[in-house]
């Protein structure tokens, strides 16, 4: 079914993106859950996803076939295992944007452990390759207050911000000679405000992990802030004390 570039070019006047086909991939509860799980940026096996989504392995196989052939997931087969992950950063970004637009559905909490997990997830978690949750939003807003980011319809990195990054030892990403690394925003579904993504967001995340400011749970998307991280975030950005602990949730915007 693959169309090579020449065919595509010759027929390009008669092609349309099949939005419905792509959306249909995500229109199923189970498949959507799988994609959300993969938003942690990691690689999962088919079995793990089956258990996570509470469906039979055979059902999972069918879903993965669809998602892979639809181009949303990349797969790698090793031995009797099937490893899948999101196809790429643009896929992750689009998914997060979609999630920001989506309506909210209450999810049942059955135990204290689940409640704690939930709280931690809201406080700080990975969003593919950067920091999301209340911590991510607090970071973005602290950087804005300090003039490192400017709010101009979206977010942009200021000259001061670029300087701050270099001072911190975060290398300028991208081939461009300019002092403007790429900034994207990502609508955070937990706090319903924007946090930092794009190349800068990813660099910041890597930096924080390298310096052990934060640690990622091996099995979930949850991030924990270390003692060193608390110090660093306070000193570098003046993050409020409350933002550094899991009970923190920013106030709702605009009353």
User: By the criterion CB under 7 A, which residues form the site for DNA?
Assistant: 24, 27-30, 45-48, 50, 54-66, 78-82
Q: Crossing angle, helix 57-69 and helix 46-53, to 10 degrees?
A: 110
The reply to whether 5 sits near its own copies by the rule CB under 8 A is yes
- Is the CB of 45 or the CB of 173 nearer to DNA? 45
> Given candidates 68, 99, 209, 215, which one binds its own copies under the rule CB under 8 A?
99
Task: Please identify, among the stretches 10-18, 73-81, 162-170, 210-218, the one whose residues bind its own copies according to the rule CB under 8 A.
Answer: 10-18
Q: Is 128 left (phi over 0), alpha (psi -120 to 50) or beta?
A: left
Residue 174 interacting partner from DNA, its own copies, none (CB closer than 5 to 8 Å by kind): its own copies
Measured from the CB atom, the residue of 24 and 109 that comes closer to DNA is 24
Which of its own copies, DNA, none lies near 169, with the C-beta cut-off 5 to 8 A by kind? none
Residue 110 as a binder of its own copies (CB under 8 A): the answer is no
For helices 29-38 and 19-26, angle between their N-to-C axes, nearest 10 degrees: 80
Name the β-bridge partners of 83: 45, 76
C-beta neighbour count of 63 within 10 angstroms: 22
Q: Judged by CB under 8 A, does residue 113 bind its own copies?
A: no
Closest C-alpha among 129, 121, 241, 130 to residue 191:
121
List binders of its own copies among 212-231 (CB under 8 A): none
Binding residues among 150-189 for its own copies as defined by CB under 8 A? 150-154, 156, 158, 173-176, 178, 180-182, 184, 187, 189
β partners of residue 203: none
Binding residue for its own copies (CB under 8 A) from 38, 46, 95, 131? 95
Q: In whole angstroms, give the CA distance from residue 213 to residue 205.
A: 9
What residues numbered 12-51 form the site for its own copies, per CB under 8 A?
Answer: 12-29, 31-33, 35-36
Chain centroid to Cα 250, Å, comes to 19
Q: Does 61 bind its own copies (CB under 8 A)?
A: no
Q: Which does 106 bind (CB under 5 to 8 A by kind): DNA, its own copies, none?
A: its own copies
Residue nearer to DNA on the CB measure, 79 or 108: 79
**Count of CB atoms within 10 A of residue 160's CB?**
14
Residue 123: name its binding partner from its own copies, DNA, none (Cβ under 5 to 8 Å by kind). Answer: none
CA atoms within 13 A on the CB side of 224: 10
Per-residue exposure over 166-195, b if at least 16 CB sit within 10 Å of its own CB, e if not: eeeebebeeeeeeebbebbbbbbbbbebbb
Work out which of 196, 199, 223, 243 binds its own copies, going by CB under 8 A. Answer: 199
**Quick one: what does residue 57 bind among its own copies, DNA, none, with the CB cut-off 5 to 8 Å set by partner type?**
DNA
């Amino acid at each position: 079914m693959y169309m090579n570039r020449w065919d595509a070019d010759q027929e390009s006047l008669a092609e349309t993106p099949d939005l419905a086909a792509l959306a249909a991939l995500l229109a199923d509860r189970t498949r959507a859950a799988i994609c959300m799980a993969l938003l942690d940026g990691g690689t999962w096996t088919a079995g793990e996803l089956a258990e996570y989504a509470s469906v039979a392995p055979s059902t999972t196989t069918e879903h993965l076939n669809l998602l892979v052939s639809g181009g949303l997931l990349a797969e790698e087969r090793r031995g009797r295992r099937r490893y899948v992950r999101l196809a790429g950063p643009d896929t992750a970004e689009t998914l997060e944007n979609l999630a920001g637009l989506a309506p909210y559905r209450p999810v049942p909490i059955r135990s204290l452990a689940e409640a704690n997990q939930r709280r931690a997830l809201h406080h700080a978690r990975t969003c593919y390759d950067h920091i999301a949750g209340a911590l991510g939003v607090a970071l973005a807003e602290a950087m804005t207050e300090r003039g490192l980011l400017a709010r101009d319809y979206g977010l942009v990195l200021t000259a001061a911000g670029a300087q701050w990054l270099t001072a911190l030892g975060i290398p300028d990403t991208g081939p461009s000679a300019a002092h403007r690394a790429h900034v994207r925003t990502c609508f955070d579904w937990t706090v319903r405000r924007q946090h930092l993504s794009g190349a800068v967001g990813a660099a910041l995340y890597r930096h924080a992990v390298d310096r052990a400011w934060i640690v990622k749970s091996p099995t979930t998307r949850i991030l924990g802030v270390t003692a060193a991280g608390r110090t660093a975030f306070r000193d570098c950005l003046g993050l409020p004390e409350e933002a550094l602990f899991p009970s923190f949730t920013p106030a709702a915007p605009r009353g």
